[in-house]
């Protein structure tokens, strides 16, 4: 019994010291974000320039998804395969193995890109959408600027060697977050573990997803690996577990094994050292605010965005939420009018302020009713 107690104490101390030690990652550059709160949980030179390699294909997919969402492209639309696209299936690069003159659907090309990491599929999709890969790369860079990727430039659709095709792990994180938020249905493709291409002139080829985290019991459902000799190994990954989602991006891992091990370590660090607290849900009633001289004595307020905060484990008691307003608020009140402020304080530090809006219109009472209320207030302090 004594031995068990000693072992328990030792393990508890080990776990405590591990979770509170200076966490470091064996990668050149990395970042970890809590998806719902948007808070950064770990970073290591996140703005250092990198060659994104096949992580570039995330943006290639996004361009297609945006067009599908707008109705300018469909999954069953077919593109004719050019010689340029075909050549990348014969030169030793990762490929879907399409042939010149094949007519391939957008859906198959996307799966060839996302699951099989096919460079040939990237060019075929780019040419089908924009006419040339060069024109498509301009669309990619423009989209990067639009969503806040400040240190990124794309020159091709696949991420193959080009010194002018560069990014940062922070920008890759921003791109990954956009993908998940704007295209949740299409994002499911990134979790598929294999893709079978019924190719021309041969037996069907089945290829597995190159993301090693999909094969671990982590809850991983994306996103994309990368490799270039000059950059070594990289990975943009995401997990969804117990109501939380984390996004991690790392580059400069020394080996495939290190990429898998260190990315798992990074995501596990976020899960085990932090909690996610839901404070308010978008467009849901949050609290009632007292109204003065209105036909209703109170009105519900709401925030127009989801509000989450990520805090260190066992520190929830340091999180304080309050509603600030000069009240009671005098009628008339317009629907969606700002009438209060939601304040979030963590460890005595203000970490967020958000507008609280009226859920409905509140009209002012007539003159007689106002007079009576005013007299009551003067006599009794009753509003």
Give the C-alpha distances (Å, rounded to integers) separating 78 from 96, 139, 321. Answer: 16, 20, 53
The question of whether 117 is a catalytic residue gets the answer yes
89 is an active site residue: no
The one catalytic residue in 44, 57, 224, 309 is 57
Q: Is there a contact between 270 and 41 (Cβ–Cβ < 8 Å)?
A: yes
Grade residue 14 by pLDDT with cuts at 50, 70 and 90.
Answer: very low
Burial (CB count within 10 angstroms: exposed 0-12, middle 13-18, buried 19+), residue 78: middle
Annotate 95-159 with DSSP letters as a single string. Answer: -----TT-EEEHHHHHHHHHTS--HHHHHHHHHHHHSSHHHHHHHHHHHHHHTT-TT-B-SSSS-
pLDDT at 264 over 80: yes
CATH 2.60.410.10 maps onto the chain at 281-380
Q: What is the pLDDT of residue 382?
A: 55
Q: Is the pTM of this model over 0.85?
A: yes
For 78, the 3-state DSSP assignment is strand
Q: In the predicted model, what is the mean pLDDT of residues 262-289?
A: 96
Q: Does domain 281-380 have CATH number 2.60.410.10?
A: yes
Q: What is the pLDDT of residue 93?
A: 82
Residue 57 designated active-site:
yes
Domain(s) of CATH 3.40.710.10: residues in the chain: 26-274
Catalytic choice (37, 54, 158, 358): 54
Among 37, 89, 117, 158, the active-site one is 117
The CATH architecture one would assign to domain 26-274 is 3-Layer(aba) Sandwich (3.40)
């Amino acid at each position: 019994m004594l031995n068990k107690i000693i072992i328990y104490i030792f393990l508890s101390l080990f776990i405590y010291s591990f979770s509170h030690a200076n966490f470091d990652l064996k990668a050149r550059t990395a970042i970890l974000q809590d998806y719902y709160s948007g808070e950064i949980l770990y970073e290591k030179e996140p703005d250092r320039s990198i060659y994104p390699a096949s992580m570039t294909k995330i943006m290639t997919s996004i361009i297609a998804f945006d067009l599908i969402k707008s109705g300018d492209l469909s999954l069953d639309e077919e593109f004719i395969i050019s010689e340029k696209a075909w050549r990348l299936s014969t030169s030793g690069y990762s490929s879907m193995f399409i042939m010149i003159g094949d007519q391939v659907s957008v859906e198959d090309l996307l799966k060839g890109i996302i699951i099989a990491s096919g460079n040939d599929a990237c060019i075929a999709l780019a040419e089908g959408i924009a006419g040339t890969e060069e024109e498509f790369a301009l669309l990619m860079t423009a989209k990067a600027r639009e969503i806040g990727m400040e240190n990124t430039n794309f020159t091709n659709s696949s991420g193959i060697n080009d010194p002018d095709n560069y990014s940062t792990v922070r920008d890759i994180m921003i791109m990954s977050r956009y993908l998940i938020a704007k295209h949740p249905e299409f994002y499911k493709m990134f979790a598929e573990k294999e893709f079978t291409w019924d190719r021309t002139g041969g037996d069907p080829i089945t290829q597995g997803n190159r993301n090693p985290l999909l094969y671990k019991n982590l809850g991983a459902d994306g996103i994309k690996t990368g490799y270039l000799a000059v950059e070594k190994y990289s990975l943009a990954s995401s997990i969804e577990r117990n109501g939380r989602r984390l996004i991690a991006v790392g580059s400069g891992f020394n080996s495939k094994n290190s990429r898998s091990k260190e990315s798992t370590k990074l995501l596990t660090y976020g899960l085990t050292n932090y909690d996610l607290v839901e404070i308010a849900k978008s467009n849901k009633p949050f609290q009632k605010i007292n109204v003065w001289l209105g036909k209703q004595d109170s009105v519900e307020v709401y925030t127009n965005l989801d509000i989450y905060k990520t805090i260190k484990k066992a520190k929830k008691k340091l999180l304080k939420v309050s509603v600030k307003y000069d009240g009671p608020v005098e009628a008339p009140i317009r629907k969606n009018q700002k009438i209060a402020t939601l304040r979030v304080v963590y460890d005595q530090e203000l970490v967020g302020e958000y507008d609280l809006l009226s859920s409905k219109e509140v009209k002012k009472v007539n003159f007689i009713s106002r007079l009576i209320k005013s007299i009551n207030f003067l006599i009794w302090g009753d509003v």
